[in-house]
Structure 1
């Protein structure tokens, strides 16, 4: 069973997300909090696999709460939530360690698919959303190509597949590799790029021009 913590200052949002996730056979919301300053304590108590984190809360925003979670041993996977599709807070949340991002107005299916994705070390995002993140981020493209020279040709293929939003299973099928081999390559790519998750790795690919 996948366990989830919901952090949002709107009780109707918390209830709606809980109803969506608890209707699935494999996901349960084990706790919810109404502000970011309660997240760390709830994580310590309930040890959720994933956190749906609102980025705009009253006393402490989701950005700072994400930073606190990332300092904890074996941190939960954080999915940043925003009322906008992609904004500056999303960019900062990814830099702080968030594993994925989600629009609050997304379909119910997107919520449980996103949770399942991050818990299985995948993520759920669109190439268009990544482009908008790149466009709103500080320019760092000049440093990216030299970083990519450390990647083997196979690792570049893996990186491009990650940037397309492909899951490990999809990459395995595309490249005729076992999922174990794919995971090994992905770990190597993350290490060479200094990326903590698939979104950060995908952003490197976009900034380096590997993805149009």
Structure 2
């Protein structure tokens, strides 16, 4: 398998260099470049054509959220995984809304970061357990809107949505439902299109909203 081309973005030189060396040791990853801020990251993406970007948030010149939003607009196939010290609601939601496919805190160990890079490259969303817990808490605090009955979810789509809400990954959903992962992805793509979802976090919030007492759509 061709190694995943990774760009590491962090304004702290020691952290940036350590991450680059550590991740480049993995046979599935090749670190093609580093950047010290969001503006450098945008230029580095054009220069090095990475497939995944590991992005810090709080940086000078251009922060990680702004850079992620710009990269998502100009390079829609590029996967961005946030790696930051911040796990507050505002930072998490801003990054996910900007188009990040993953969100990890810097407490994550090497194996977790590597798995996040692999998963993002494969098209999956990756959330740090603490981040996912905060999203679930936020969703539970948010007044549940009336379900949009103009969005007809099939029984299978609703079933998959419920499992996403429980935090299951695509491979785990496939095993539980005895279907292929490709079939799961097809249902998720249809679900996201119907319900105008833009991230795994949006799906979790919808699942919790529907589970709060709304009947499933068929």
**TM-score for both structures, normalised by structure 1:** 0.88
Structure 1: gaps spanning 5 or more residues: none
1:95/1:200 contact within 8 Å kept: no
1:171/1:182 contact within 8 Å kept: yes
Distance 2:114 2:15 in 1: 15
Distance 2:175 2:77 in 1: 30
Deviation digits for residues 168-189 of structure 1 (CA, Å, limit 9, x no counterpart): 2221111011222111101111
Structure 1 window deviating more from structure 2 (127-136 vs 101-110): it is 127-136
Deviation at 1:134, TM superposition (A): 4.9
| Count, aligned residues | 210
CA RMSD of aligned residues (A): 2.4
1:2/1:49 contact within 8 Å kept: yes
Deviation at 1:120, TM superposition (A): 0.9
* Stretches of 4+ aligned residues off by more than 4 angstroms: 134-138
Distance 2:151 2:48 in 1: 42
Aligned to 2:161: 159
Deviation at 1:116, TM superposition (A): 0.7
Structure 2: gaps spanning 5 or more residues: 213-218
1:49/1:76 contact within 8 Å kept: yes
Structure 1 window deviating more from structure 2 (126-135 vs 31-40): it is 126-135
**Aligned partner of 2:208 among 182, 206, 209:** 206
Structure 1 residue matching 2:74: 3-state secondary structure: coil
Deviation at 1:126, TM superposition (A): 5.3
Structure with larger Rg: 2
1:80/1:90 contact within 8 Å kept: no
Aligned to 2:60: 58
**TM-score for both structures, normalised by structure 2:** 0.86
